[in-house]
Chain A
Amino acid sequence: MDTPAATPASRTFNVPATASAADGAQTLIEIDSFDFYYGAKQALFDINLRLADKRVTAFIGPSGCGKSTLLRCLNRMNDLIDGTSVKRGNVKIRGIDIYGRDVDSIELRKRVGMVFQKSNPFPKSIYENITYGLRIQGVKSKARLDEVVEKSLRGAALWDEVKDRLHESGLGLSGGQQQRLCIARTIAVEPEVILMDEPCSALDPIATAKVEELIHELKKQFTIIIVTHSMQQAARCSDQTAFFYMGKLVEFGETRDIFMNPKNPQTEAYVSGRFG
């Protein structure tokens, strides 16, 4: 059992020493003195963070604070943007440096899935949307694909709603359903980590509630990191919360502590709605 009591993060930010190990979870992701640049502009400053396995972590902070950037660093989606670079530090998942020389970012993304702010089902049928990830890995067996479709849709609490129209276009679903379809699509490839980049920002409250419920279910199987603008959402569905400001990690700890008893005055100002 790893105890992150002596991590740089906890030292720097006075996070309670037992924060991430409170319920005995294992550390999955370790981020150490991580600096990230868009061209010449530094976007992330010396991030140190330990994220536990099978937990929900929320990244909060005002716009442009770097929370989405950090999220996209975790499956190297930022590689696809011109001029981005990691200047210092590293990110390890299960002890493997994902920015290491011999790491294949494609393989990484199979293990670290992502759900985007704007739901982006492909303009294909629901069935094809779900099986896309497996097909590109070369899975051809019809039985196996059918099985995965049902399991993933059930896992995303969408099965009952769409089971009769699996071969209709995914674009015909409502916004909330589309987002859950994207989640189903992601869990179909069995990642270990699911990154969610403001998954509910375009949804109405009812659809949001469904997705949040789903997140609760999913954390039994997956490690989830969610970037959100809504503090209520962070409070409702995350176990731990990290607060970012101006590209720096300001405070990290149990969600309850961050909201009820923040250590840092900036955190307090933000969570109490005084800025951001």
Chain B
Amino acid sequence: MPPDHTAAADNTGTPSPIFAIQKARTRFFGLTFDETIRVFFGGNAFVAVIVLALITFFLFREGSQFFGQNRDSLRTYRLAGLEYVDIIRQQEEDHTALTRYLFDIRLKAVVKLTEEGVDAAEAKRRLAKFDDYAERYGDTIVPVRGLVSELTEVATDIKTRYNENEDYKVARQQFLASGMKAEAEAIVVKNLDFSREILAITGTFPAYEQINTEYAEALKAAIAELPVLPVPELQPRLERFRELNREYLATFPTRTELLKNWNNNAPVGWSESFTQFIFGTRWLTASFWQDWYGIIPLFVGSLMISAIALFIAVPLGVGAAIYVNQIATPQEQKLIKPAIEFISAIPSVVLGFFGIAVLGQALRALSQWEALSWVPGFPYSERLNALTAGCLLALIAVPTIFTLAEDAINNVPRAFKEASFALGASRMQTIVRIIVPAALSGIVSAVLLGLGRVMGETMVVLLCAGNRIAIPDFTAGITAFVQPVHTMTGIIAQEMGEVVRGGIHYRALFVVGLVLFFIALLLNFLAQKIVRKYRISIG
């Protein structure tokens, strides 16, 4: 308090002739008390920015080495010859798929015969020829299979010895680092000469060529004389089988070429490590053979569950928003809004528990109900699947979508509505033609934010999605939606507690987190962009 002012105040009625308004505040580090407070609050506001930066930083910090480790893993995969073995194994697996095709035909034939009133023994007798054929066909692969299992052992052995050696090296380094020279000396590191070791695998190439030629001959012979089915309608399928075999045979030369030119020293690039993650279709961990970290099965799972959730939540949420804002009486509004807000407060883990305890079973029972058998995918047997999780996530997305969509509808200027009524439009026409289009971008951004909420939700999918790490089988069309899936959020929650810190699996989970993080930012960005546009258009 400046002294002159006190004087003025005491000296009532006669203001001081000196007009003292000069700065006279105590300063610390050049800041007045007030400015210090301002800086303090500003610093706090900056925390949000810092946190966002820290999230990015720590996800990168823990995840960034993944691609290097994955590259090493892929390099070992190649150096130790596992890749070579997998090329042949693929051939074997393709054959297995064709065998399965034959079994499928047989199954259909049996069904058909049973429908015709043929008993099981008789059906078996009539199919004897076919079975005989199928068996012979299946046996053609045996030599190849033998080779594969032999090579698998060799390759595994090489890889194991290599990994052991790497561990020794690390141990030795650690001993040296902590000054224990004697212990370090005691560890014998035998560096593996891959180019020599690999001969045990690539050396079998002539043998493979021979086996393969014989195998090809056997296949050709097999498809030359197809068996006659007791069910004539299925005969075209056998023709198709022949066609598939021809296609299969056509791949043989490329495969042989691939094996011939295969080189265990071919460099593994960063891009390979990266594409194996982004486009990889296998998430396979703790495997004795080779671990794969491909995000696609998880991503597809997340996407599929989100799609189900939004499919349910968007009509309900937007419909409810229109109803509450445009149609409902004020009393109803007063009731519904808090109620929906209340639903949004139900913790997701409770919803997940409800899914396990009640909804999974209820939905399965519903699917087994005769009257609903027309629904694709019904009936199904897995209690926990994408549909169960999707339904629960819909309940999580609805409040978000409802609240934001209701806001958007509320922001449509009254004048629009009044003008429409003045032109003689009915309430329904006004809603459909005026209000919803005017609020559309707001609604779209609401849906995007709802999607973000659903994609990022963890507990429900962890508990209810079935947690099978595989890309759902889309060949059966829409029925894929009742298959169990795994998700990006779920995999982190499930596996984070079990992995070795600093290991490749651990880092892979952080990279998945990073992907989730950027998806969330992207959705947020899009939602904001749409809303901003919308503001301008309303003016």
Which residues of A are at the interface with B, using a C-beta cutoff of 8 A? 93-96, 98, 102-104, 106-108, 110-111, 134, 137-138, 151, 189-192, 221
Contact = CB atoms under 8 A, between A and B. Distances in A.
Contact of B9 (A98, A106, A190): A190
Contacts of B19: 93-96, 111, 192
A138 B1 contact: yes
A109 B96 CA distance: 89
Interface string B408-442: 00000000000000000000000000000000000
Interface of B is mostly: loop
Contacts of B1: 137-138
B24 A104 contact: yes
Interface string B1-38: 11001001100110101111111110000000010000
B15 A107 contact: no
A107 B1 CA distance: 9
Given A138-B1, A190-B15, A107 B22 contact: yes
Given A137-B1, A138-B1, A108 B12 contact: no
Given A137-B1, A190-B9, A108 B21 contact: yes
B17 A94 contact: yes
A111 B34 CA distance: 20
Given A137-B1, A190-B15, A107 B20 contact: yes
Nearest to B32: A104
Given A94-B17, A190-B15, 15 more contacts: A96-B19, A96-B21, A102-B23, A104-B21, A106-B34, A107-B22, A107-B23, A108-B21, A111-B19, A111-B20, A111-B21, A137-B1, A151-B12, A190-B8, A190-B9
Contacts of A221: 13
B468 to A, nearest CB: 56
Contacts of A110: 5
B19 to A, nearest CB: 4
A243 B15 CA distance: 29
A96 B22 CA distance: 9
Interface of A is mostly: loop
Given A138-B1, A190-B15, A107 B21 contact: yes
A107 B9 contact: no
Contacts of A107: 2, 20-24
A192 B14 CA distance: 9
A150 B1 CA distance: 23
B226 to A, nearest CB: 84
Contact of A103 (B9, B13, B21): B21
Interface residues of B, number: 18
Nearest to B20: A107
Nearest to A191: B15
Contacts of B23: 102-104, 107
Contacts of A111: 15, 19-21
Nearest to B8: A190
A62 B15 CA distance: 34
A155 to B, nearest CB: 10
B15 A192 contact: yes
Interface in B13-68: 13, 15, 17-25, 34
A149 to B, nearest CB: 13
B107 to A, nearest CB: 76
A138 B25 CA distance: 14
Nearest to B15: A192
A209 to B, nearest CB: 25
Contacts of A189: 9
Contacts of B12: 151, 190
A110 B15 CA distance: 12
26 contacts: A93-B21, A94-B18, A94-B19, A96-B21, A96-B22, A102-B23, A103-B21, A103-B22, A103-B23, A104-B21, A104-B22, A104-B23, A104-B24, A106-B34, A107-B22, A107-B23, A107-B24, A108-B21, A110-B5, A111-B19, A137-B1, A151-B12, A190-B9, A190-B12, A190-B15, A192-B19
Contacts of B8: 190
Contacts of B18: 94
Listed residue (A93, A104, A137, A192) with the most chain B CB atoms within 10 angstroms of its CB = A104
A102 B22 CA distance: 6
A98 B21 contact: yes
A54 to B, nearest CB: 10
Contacts of A190: 8-9, 12, 15
B461 to A, nearest CB: 45
A75 B22 CA distance: 14
Nearest to B23: A104
Contacts of B20: 107, 111
Query: Which 8 residue pairs of A and B lie closest in terms of their CB atoms, listed nearest first?
Result: A94-B19, A104-B23, A107-B21, A108-B21, A192-B15, A190-B9, A102-B23, A137-B1
Nearest to B22: A102
A66 B2 CA distance: 33
Nearest to B25: A104
A106 B1 CA distance: 11
A259 B8 CA distance: 37
B502 to A, nearest CB: 50
Nearest to A112: B21
A102 B25 CA distance: 11
Contacts of A104: 21-25
Listed residue (A93, A95, A107) with the most chain B CB atoms within 10 angstroms of its CB = A107
Contacts of A96: 19, 21-22
Contacts of B5: 110, 137
Nearest to A134: B9
Contacts of B22: 96, 102-104, 107
Contacts of A191: 15
A93 B20 CA distance: 10
A107 B322 CA distance: 54
